Structure formats: structure tokens, C-alpha cells
Chain A
Amino acid sequence: MALIEVKNAIKRYQTGDEYFNALNNVSLSIEEGEFVAIMGASGSGKSTFMNMLGCLDKPNSGSYLLDGIDVLSLNTDELSDIRNIKMGFVFQGFNLISRTSAVENVELPMIYKGIPESERYDRAMKALKIVGLEGRSTHMPNQMSGGQQQRVAIARAIINDPPLILADEPTGNLDTKTSIEVMEFFVNLNKEMGKTIVLVTHEPDIAQYCKRVVKFKDGNIISDEINTHTTIPY
């Protein structure tokens, strides 16, 4: 069974009298362990799709099974649990909580999961070590570079050991060199830890790190191919 199973998803927005389909009958299935890049022009519906995968938003029609669970039938609290346990988010704008240290940011998903305090710190430090930031654990977000903040966000995304990582333009705010560093962490998560990763990007260079590339246009998937010229030796 696929980890993600989206069928005929339609997301319609209304502005004034006009209706607009941000997602136009989209179907996609992603197996466990895949590393998928989502590409497409601005406004093509990539973020809308990701928000649906992330259980932050519901489509107007269609179905979505995550790990066999029909998420569209869940209530608010159950959706919170799904987001907490089944997936980790990495955003373009990092979205760390300000005035809260790196290690405390990483601890947050564990707090909401109800993991006892004694366990949290050690686990958060381990996650920071994976992204190479164990020396910055007490730094506040505004005391770190963009690349470092994004690595803290990655540590936060994997802290509850979810099977799925969703990243919406994670390198959008980073320079090329830092982007490469960050992408190497994603590759690592996929290869070493077996995480399923869905990653939105505009840049073909970044898409090169992924095993499969899905292209959106005007709310439709126009192509879905295995990445033949990946730069990463799998």
C-alpha cells in the first residue's frame, strides 16, 4: 500500500463571484521511501497540494489516504495528531519560534506528543547532531544563519520519527552553497533513515537530488517521471 494515495482531489477557491480551481482533479500516489520533487510555475498549485498532503487544508472533493488513514474524515484534534506523528514540515521561511533556543524548537513536537521532559532534551540533542548543530543548541533563531535555521527545522521535522517529510521550497531563501548543504541532509534522511520526502522546488538543480519529479501546471499534473539524470548516486 502506498504511503500517500490522493485521488481526484479538487481544491476550489472563491474570489468574489469567481471560482478558481487551484487543484483540478489531481491524483498521485507515493510509495514509502520515495524522494519526490514537485515542480511547476508559480501559481500552479504546488503549495495547495502540499498543504493538503500536510493535513493543513482539505480538498473540496476527492480522497486522500495517508498510511491507509482516510484523513479527510478526521476531526481537528486527530489531524493535529497526524501532523505531529506522521509527518514533519520544512518551510521556505524556516518558521522557527522566535526567542526560543534551537534545542527548544526541536523539542516542541515532542511536547505536543506528550513525551516526558527527561527524554526530550537528549532526543533533541541527537537530532541536532544529525544536522550538525549540536554546538548551537542554545542559540536563538536570530543568532543563526538561514542555512542553520533550516537545519534546525529539519531536526524538528524528524524529531518524532515520522515516515513523511514535507518541504515547500526549503532552499527558496538560501544561496546555492547552503542549498546544497541542506539538500544533502534531505538525501541523507531519505537514504539512511528511509524517510519519504516530498519537496517543492523551482530549481532544476535542486530537483536533481530527487528520484522522481512531478510537474504541475494550472492545478493539473502534467508530467510524472523517474529522474534519470540524478546527480546523486543511489
Chain B
Amino acid sequence: MIDFKSTLKMAVVSLKVNKMRSILTSLGIIIGVSAVIIMLAVGTGASVKIAKDMESMGSNLLMIRSGSVTSGGVRMGSGTRPTLTLKDAEAINKLARGILAVAPYSSEAQQITYGNQNWATSVAGTTQSYLYIRNYDIAEGRNFIPEDIKNNTKVAIIGNTVSTELFGDMDPLNKTIRIGNVPFKVIGTLKVKGQNGMGQDQDDLVFIPITTAQKKVFGTDFPGTVKMINVQAQNSEVISQTEEDINEILRDRHNIGKNQEDDFTVRNLAEMQETIKSSARTMSILLGAIASVSLLVGGIGIMNIMLVSVTERTKEIGIRMAIGAKPRDIRIQFLIESFLLSIIGGLIGVFIGVTASKAIQIFSDMSIVISSFSILLSLGFSGFIGVLFGYYPAYKASLLNPIDALRYE
């Protein structure tokens, strides 16, 4: 049995003889491995981001909007005519099964001022539940209490962006801001949430009680209406039941006949999230398949070159056998060569993949996660490919008859 170091040295020598050929042969593996690394980096980054977005959006969410009204044969977009009311929200909360929380919601762009600072932002009228449902956390101060809603108190909870724009370094708590012309007392500030999946700043808003908004701030074209009702179901199992109940309750309350269209739409965000998740999965599988094909092609390239190499070096094999090499020694020598070819390709591929992933991160705002798992996986896989596709040529070399091999010119 011949020692490993000597075999390794022989393999390195023969790979060095055809440097260009060795590199070209490894190209398939290089491309495959860098594709795997980039794909996993982008894929993991994307799913981490999706998970974060979903986290910030809230889970098991149903969003009810007024909408889809046909007016004179023309279907208007959703929300064109508000049909939902606070009473609808109360009814849903009372009657629908599987409810965890319900929050009516209406928002408008408003100019808000503090002293001589002013800022245009989105003012949302809602209830204390909304903050739970959509995972907004209070940084300082307090959330609304039921009395705020009942008594239309003029209190506001402001997002970080608004706080910075109006107050700079000052503490906004208990200061009075004006929304339009109406004075509001700041009772709370929100923890920073950052951008959402669509790149919107989730900290650029002000919450006020929905009742106050309806009566004091928003236009009064449709008094008592809300643009949206957010519902959080208890869990993902009951959510479709809850959705059905809501449909029934609202159709009943809005007197919609059997053959009439709904004047509201219920969007199941859990379903949407599921769709996004599964399309991310599909994408990963697709990229994975492409990478596998590339690795497979790389493997076949290695096999091809190793077969050529065995033929070219028939005489060398004959000489080695004549001076005492066993078939096994020859086999191991060629196996190590093909293993080296693909593992070196793998290393170069990892380098290119990591570099490219970093570049993607720098030049786009995609989030990238390079895991040591993906590096080990692709290195391991390329090593495996080298052995798998190197085996046949190595086996063929070991079967050579020394006499014929020696005579080969």
C-alpha cells in the first residue's frame, strides 16, 4: 500500500502539467459551486427578510376593506366608497368565531405641527388592538385605553420618524401637537420598526383614537365609516372559519342578497404569507436544480478529462505497474487526481460565490446570508462529484494490462 502523501504529490504533479486544462475542467464545478453559494445566500437572505416582514406585519391576519362597488355598471376600485363602520367591527368582534382581536382603521395624509416644525405624515385612527395585531410596540408612554376611544380623547401615539422630525432630541411625551388645526397630546412613542417589505417607512405615522379621527380630523363625507378592519384570528387553523363568519356577518349587516356582490373584501394575509413562502421555496428549488445540473455537467467534464488523461498516460501506467504498482495504487492515484480537480474547483467556486454574494449585497439592497453550512455543503458535494465521476476512469486505468500499457505509444 502506498502512502497518501506520495499519491497526493503524484496527483499534484500531473495536474500541474496541464494547468490550463485542469482549470477549464474545473470550470463546471466552479460555476456550480458559486451558483449554490449565491443561491443559498440570496435565498436564505430573502427568507430571513420575509420572515421578518411577516413578523412585523402580524400573524394570522385578516384585512377587511370596503370596496368593489358597482356604480352605474362601472366597477370601482376597492375602498372607493367606504361601507364598513365601527359597528361592523364591534359585530365581528362579538359574533365571529376564532377572534383574538379586532381593530378598525382609517388613515389620511395630514400636516402635523409642533411649534414651528411641521411634517406631512399618515395619521391613522384606530384602537389599542391595532398595535397588538400589527406588532407595534410602545417605546415610551402608553397605548390607548378603551376610554380614549369611547370619549374621543385627543391623544396621539407617534412613530419614530415623526418624533425625530418634530421634536429632534426633545422628549415628545405629553407635548401637544396639532393635526390639521386640532391639538393632540402625545401619550406614547413607538419602537422603531424600519421598512416593510415594500420599502415603506413603518415609523412615519401617527396613531389617534378612531372615534376622534372620525369626528375631529378626517373629512366627513361618510361619517362613521372606516376604511379597513383588521382581524387577528386565534391561530392558523381557525382562520378560514373566522373568514367565513366575517363574510356572513357583513353580508347580513349590509343587507346583501344571495346573488349580489359583496361590498367589502376580506384578504387573508396568512394565505398571502403562505404564498410568498412557497414561491420563495419554489425559487430555491429551481435555483438548486440549476446548480445541481451545473455540478453534474462539471462532474461529467471531469470524467471526460480523466478518461483522456488515462489514455494519454497509458505508458506511464504500464511503467508504474512494471515496477510494482498494484491496480489499487493506480486507482487511488487517479481518484485523488479527480478529487483534487473538483475540490479545487469547489474552493474557487466558494471564493467566487462569497465574493459575488457580497457584491450583490453592496450593489443592491437585497439581504444576503452566507452560512458555513452552504460552504461545507457545496465543498462536500464537489468532493463527492470528483470521487463519483473519477471512479470510472480510475477503475479503467487500474484494469490495464501492464504489457499492453507498456507497448502503448
Is A99 in the interface zone, CB < 8 Å from B? yes
A-B pair number, CB within 8 angstroms: 67
Residues of B within 8 A of A109 (CB): 323-324
Question: How far does the Cβ of A230 sit from chain B's closest Cβ, in whole Å?
Answer: 30
| CB 8 Å contact bits of B1-36 with A (1 = contact, 0 = none) | 111011000000110010000000000000000000
Is A97 in the interface zone, CB < 8 Å from B? yes
Beyond the given A112-B2, A117-B6, please list 14 additional residue pairs across the A-B interface where CB-CB is below 8 A: A56-B322, A76-B327, A77-B328, A80-B321, A80-B325, A80-B326, A83-B321, A97-B316, A99-B17, A108-B320, A111-B2, A112-B329, A114-B2, A160-B324
Which 4 pairs from chain A and chain B are nearest by CB? A84-B324, A112-B324, A80-B326, A109-B323
* A residues at B contact (CB < 8 Å): 51, 54, 56-57, 76-77, 80-81, 83-85, 88-89, 91, 95-100, 108-109, 111-114, 116-117, 156, 160
Say whether B403 contacts A111, CB under 8 Å.
no
Closest A residue by C-beta to B329: A112
Is B402 in the interface zone, CB < 8 Å from A? yes
Query: Knowing A80-B324, A83-B323, A89-B322 touch, does A51 contact B403 (C-beta < 8 A)?
Result: yes
A117 vs B4: C-alpha distance when bound (angstroms): 11
The range of chain B's interface size is: 20 to 34
Say whether B2 contacts A77, CB under 8 Å.
no
Residues of B within 8 A of A97 (CB): 316, 319-320
Residues of A within 8 A of B3 (CB): 111, 114, 116-117
A95 vs B316: C-alpha distance when bound (angstroms): 8
Q: Which of B219-257 contact A (CB under 8 A)?
A: none
| CB 8 Å contact bits of B116-148 with A (1 = contact, 0 = none) | 000000000000000000000000000000000
Residues of A within 8 A of B328 (CB): 77
Is B388 in the interface zone, CB < 8 Å from A? no
A25 vs B406: C-alpha distance when bound (angstroms): 25
A97 vs B333: C-alpha distance when bound (angstroms): 14
Say whether A77 contacts B322, CB under 8 Å.
no
Say whether B13 contacts A111, CB under 8 Å.
no
A114 vs B326: C-alpha distance when bound (angstroms): 12
Q: Which of B44-95 contact A (CB under 8 A)?
A: none
Say whether A108 contacts B323, CB under 8 Å.
yes
Residues of A within 8 A of B322 (CB): 54, 56, 83, 89, 95
| CB 8 Å contact bits of B248-287 with A (1 = contact, 0 = none) | 0000000000000000000000000000000000000000
Residues of A within 8 A of B17 (CB): 99
A and B contact pairs by CB, cutoff 8 A, 18 listed: A56-B322, A77-B326, A80-B325, A81-B326, A83-B324, A91-B406, A95-B319, A95-B322, A99-B17, A100-B13, A108-B323, A112-B326, A112-B329, A114-B1, A114-B3, A117-B3, A117-B5, A160-B324
Residues of B within 8 A of A56 (CB): 322, 402-403, 406
| CB 8 Å contact bits of B302-324 with A (1 = contact, 0 = none) | 00000000000001100111111
Residues of B within 8 A of A76 (CB): 326-327
* B residues at A contact (CB < 8 Å): 1-3, 5-6, 13-14, 17, 315-316, 319-329, 402-403, 406
Residues of B within 8 A of A98 (CB): 316
Say whether B403 contacts A84, CB under 8 Å.
no
Say whether B403 contacts A156, CB under 8 Å.
no
Say whether B326 contacts A89, CB under 8 Å.
no
Residues of B within 8 A of A160 (CB): 324
Question: How far does the Cβ of A51 sit from chain B's closest Cβ, in whole Å?
Answer: 6
Question: How far does the Cβ of B21 sit from chain A's closest Cβ, in whole Å?
Answer: 14
Residues of A within 8 A of B329 (CB): 112
Closest A residue by C-beta to B325: A112
Question: How far does the Cβ of A144 sit from chain B's closest Cβ, in whole Å?
Answer: 16
Residues of A within 8 A of B325 (CB): 80, 112
Question: How far does the Cβ of B396 sit from chain A's closest Cβ, in whole Å?
Answer: 15
Residues of A within 8 A of B1 (CB): 114
Closest A residue by C-beta to B318: A95
A54 vs B65: C-alpha distance when bound (angstroms): 93
Question: How far does the Cβ of A168 sit from chain B's closest Cβ, in whole Å?
Answer: 10
Question: How far does the Cβ of A89 sit from chain B's closest Cβ, in whole Å?
Answer: 5
Residues of A within 8 A of B326 (CB): 76-77, 80-81, 112
Residues of B within 8 A of A100 (CB): 13
Question: How far does the Cβ of B132 sit from chain A's closest Cβ, in whole Å?
Answer: 72
A51 vs B322: C-alpha distance when bound (angstroms): 10
Say whether B327 contacts A85, CB under 8 Å.
no
Residues of A within 8 A of B2 (CB): 111-112, 114
Closest B residue by C-beta to A113: B324
Question: How far does the Cβ of B160 sit from chain A's closest Cβ, in whole Å?
Answer: 68
Say whether A57 contacts B324, CB under 8 Å.
no
Query: Knowing A99-B13, A117-B3, A117-B6 touch, does A112 contact B323 (C-beta < 8 A)?
Result: yes
Residues of B within 8 A of A96 (CB): 319
Question: How far does the Cβ of B263 sit from chain A's closest Cβ, in whole Å?
Answer: 84
A97 vs B316: C-alpha distance when bound (angstroms): 6
Residues of A within 8 A of B13 (CB): 99-100
Residues of B within 8 A of A99 (CB): 13-14, 17
A96 vs B329: C-alpha distance when bound (angstroms): 18
Residues of A within 8 A of B321 (CB): 80, 83
Residues of A within 8 A of B5 (CB): 117
Question: How far does the Cβ of B291 sit from chain A's closest Cβ, in whole Å?
Answer: 35
Question: How far does the Cβ of B190 sit from chain A's closest Cβ, in whole Å?
Answer: 70
A51 vs B320: C-alpha distance when bound (angstroms): 15
A141 vs B316: C-alpha distance when bound (angstroms): 13
A228 vs B112: C-alpha distance when bound (angstroms): 125
A96 vs B322: C-alpha distance when bound (angstroms): 12
